[in-house]
Structure 1
Amino acid sequence: MSSNQTPNKTKWISKFTLSFLAIVGAVDSVLHIILPLFPYKLNQYILPIGMSSLIIGIVFSIGLPFYWHYKEKNNFIDSQKYYIWLITILRYWLAFYISTFGFEKLFDVNFAYSYHIEDSLVNTLTGQELTWKYYGHSYYLTVIIGLFQIIGSILLLFRRTTLLGVITLLPVQLNILLINLFYGIGPLTTFISIIMVLGLSYLLLERKEEIINFFRHYKNTLPTVGNKKLRNSIRFLCILIPFLFVFYYSYDVRKSQKYFGKWEVEKMTRNGEIVSEKAWEKDALAWKLIYFEERGKLLFCPNPNMYVDSASIFMKYNYDDNKNRLKVISYEINPENPDTILVQISKFKDKSMQWEMIFNKDTIQMELKKENL
């Protein structure tokens, strides 16, 4: 359907979809602005008013398509007027709502600095708090996202630029929706995101014929390289080679997967002498935790309570599956000429093992226990 055409007759489901997206979205966008302005003493009424307004909007959006479809079927009304009004409402509330979030990002309201999140351990944060912390880390990134939302919203307000506005906003809002869904941001926020993405998708599908025709008639005027068989072979290899590389790398990494995790040093001896429990307070080499990571990373930490980067030692490792030993590469003494350390693993069980190695000319033995995370 072109931008200058509107349907005279449509199916009921099409009417319902448009009515629901336009009316429910409009009601929700108005509530988003009005309800936070309520005085503190009226806070107890915010949820009942919000929910009742949404329910009324949903009921009305369900009833309108029945009335509209009945009138259209009997030629009592001009469907174009209903369609134009609802499409306009849809465009305007999307612009209104999305630009609100855009301005919140510009004025540092969305993803504002949170003192309690900043002072919390990462593994104690919820999905919402992690998202807030991540996006709030860079104000400039937040501003860029906000500008996309504002510019896209402005484009939605004009019929000639509606499609450009949809193309600008849909990737941004789809990304936000996926974050809301998989990071557990909250049911109401996720519902809003779903309505926004569906609304933008509806506006995009309204122009599907123009979009299809554009790609159908578009022709690249640049000359081709090689023959068709060669090009198809290269195209296939462009996907196959990365797949094989990552597959092999993943297979190689997972040889040592049974060791991945956080290991507590239950007992450590250095040159035959037991290292005391509190030695870590003064001795940075009296490790209490060993982090066995993917991609050949080992981190030795003396602090038993948490990982401290400044006090820890970073090493790389290669795992020999046949000999059941690690070849650890230490950059501690001479980063330009790293030291290679052989670590012999013994008495390995599901969550315990023993290590023996020579580090800085010291013979070290450790009994390790894997922590549940």
Structure 2
Amino acid sequence: MSSNETQNKTKWILKFTLSFLSIVGGIDSVLHIILPLFPYKLNQYIIPIGMSSLITGIVFSIGLSFYWHYKEKNDLIDSQKYYIWLTTILRYWLAFYISTFGFEKLFDVNFAYSYHIEDALVNTLTGQELTWKYYGHSYYLTVIIGLFQIIGSILLLFRRTTLLGVLTLLPVQINILLINLFYGIGPLTTFTSIIMVIGLSYLSLERKEEIIDFFRRYKSTLPTVGNTTLRKSIRFLCILIPFLFVFYYSYDVRKSKKYFGKWKVESMTRNGRVILENEWQKDTLAWKTLYIEERGKMYFCPNPHLYLDSISILMKYQYDDDKNQNFKVISFEKSRNKPDTIPVLISKFKDKSMQWKMILYKDTIQMELKKVNL
């Protein structure tokens, strides 16, 4: 709604939305700064104080919205003053809160180096730890995100640049919200992200008429190319061709889907000699695990406990489903320019097990493979 529209009477739900966003969001932003400063012996009171403060804010915002609506309905107040005050509070706490996260990124507090995450296996990490590891990998990326948050927050503090601030922050905060939701970052953090995105969206809807009018008035000054039919056909093909390409590529890749996965080498013989259980510790060709991936990649790893790139071998593979499990391994070990194509004889294939026989260079290799459930 625009400032002119606030002179007209509005529905209670709009008053409650603005009251909730302004009051509850403001309380949440203050708690974010104050609660971490509590002494260690008072840590047990952090959650009760935080929750009681938020509940009080919710109750107060409900009461305020009803009071505001009643007074406006009976023409007892200047409703625009309520609107201006609450909108200002909303802009200020958003700027305050989001800039805090921005400065945390600049000073390497947010996504700081984590020693235990660095030493942990990827498949043991939680969604939050994965996010921390990914974004913490590049300090420069973190700084760029932080600068967007700080600059956007500064723009929110001025009425003339509020919309520009919203347009700067909204894509960043939506991305953060989606990460928080789908990576299980935590209920309180997700709640904060939600009210931030809703608050920014509310501020953008204030100017919805100007935004809509801008897109209606915008028109490219460049001359058109070709006739209308040609342009429509090209537009259609610009979407259709990528779709068909990816669809075909996906279909072609997934013909070998039944082989995708982590395969444990139950037993292995080389030139008729059984490879001993612990031989992998000295012989990097005594493989213990095969990783068959999409896009024609497979990795032969001697370590049975974890994948180590330095001692593993990357090979390509080709699979033709129409020729009785025609599986070929392509090795680049001897020459990158002239790789060896090695036919693989697959027998006794089931969903969870199979036997391989191939000749790698001059060695005849047989393996019993069992698929590992992940």
TM-score by length of 2: 0.98
Matched, 1:353 2:354: yes
Deviation at 1:4, TM superposition (A): 6.6
1:295 aligns with 295
Gaps of 5+ in 2: none
CA distance in 2, matches of 1:356, 1:244: 36
Alignment match, 1:340:
341
Q: Distance in 2 between matches of 1:229 and 1:295?
A: 38
* 2:106 counterpart residue number: 106
Instruction: Tell me the CA shift for residue 40 of structure 1.
Output: 1.8
- Counterpart-to-counterpart distance in 1, 2:311 and 2:233: 52
Return the offset for 1:2. Answer: 4.5
**2:135 equivalent to 1:135:** yes
3-state SS of paired residue (2:265): strand
SS of corresponding position for 2:310: helix
- Give the counterpart letter for 2:118 in structure 1: E
Helix, strand or coil for the counterpart of 1:310?
coil
> Could you say which residue in structure 2 is the equivalent of 1:201?
201
CA distance in 1, matches of 2:3, 2:298: 59
Matched residue, 2:371: 370
What percent identity do the matched residue pairs reach? 83
Structure 2: which amino acid aligns with 1:327? Answer: K
Cα distance in 1 between the residues matched to 2:315 and 2:243: 28
C-alpha distance in 2, partners of 1:250/1:209? 43
Q: How far, CA to CA, are the matches of 2:49 and 2:17 in structure 1? A: 24
1:329 to 2:330 alignment: yes
Whether the aligned pair in 2 keeps the contact of 1:288 and 1:303 (CA below 8 Å) is yes
In 2, Cα distance between equivalents of 1:169 and 1:160: 16
C-alpha separation in 2, matches of 1:204 and 1:53: 28
Structure 1 segment 135-154 matched on structure 2, within 5 A: 135-154=135-154
Counterpart code for 1:61: S
SS state at 2:364 partner: strand
Deviations 1:248-292 (A, max 9, x none): 111111111011000011111111121111221111111110000
Could you list the per-position Cα deviations for residues 127-174 of structure 1 after superposition, in whole angstroms to 9, with x for gaps in the alignment?
A: 000000000000000000000000000000000000000000000000
Letter in 2 for 1:370: K
**Pairs within 5 Å for 1:1-373:** 1-2=1-2, 6-321=6-321, 322-373=323-374
Q: Per-residue CA shift, 1:316-354, capped at 9, x if unaligned?
A: 011021220211110001111100000111100110000
User: Does the residue aligned with 2:83 lie in a helix, a strand or coil?
Assistant: helix
Would the alpha carbon gap of residues 74 and 3 (structure 1) be closer, same or farther in structure 2, given more than 3 Å must change? closer
Once residues 221 and 353 of structure 1 are traced to their aligned partners in structure 2, the CA distance between those partners, rounded to angstroms, is 64
Moved over 2 A (4+): 1-8
The structural deviation recorded for 1:362 is: 0.9
Secondary structure at the aligned position of 2:144 is classed as: helix
Mapped partners of 2:72, 2:286: distance in 1 = 82
- In 2, are the aligned partners of 1:344 and 1:355 still within 8 Å (CA)? yes
Q: 2 CA distance for matches of 1:313 and 1:105?
A: 38
Matches of 1:310 and 1:3, distance apart in 2: 64
The one-letter code matched in structure 1 to 2:333 is E
1:56 and 1:65 map into 2 onto residues whose CA distance is 14
TM-score (norm 1): 0.98
- Greater shift after overlay, 91-100 or 356-365? 356-365
Structure 1 residue 8: Cα displacement: 3.0
Q: Distance in 1 between matches of 2:307 and 2:71?
A: 69
Query: Could you report, residue by residue, the CA deviation over 1:25-53 in whole angstroms, capped at 9, with x for unpaired residues?
Result: 00100111111111222222111111111
Give 5+ residue unaligned stretches, structure 1: none
- What displacement does 1:7 show? 3.7
- In structure 2, what residue type is equivalent to 1:99? S
- Tell me if structure 2 keeps the 8 A contact 1:6–1:84: no
Aligned-partner SS, 1:129: helix
Query: What is the Cα-based RMSD across aligned positions, in Å?
Result: 1.0
Letter in 2 for 1:183: Y
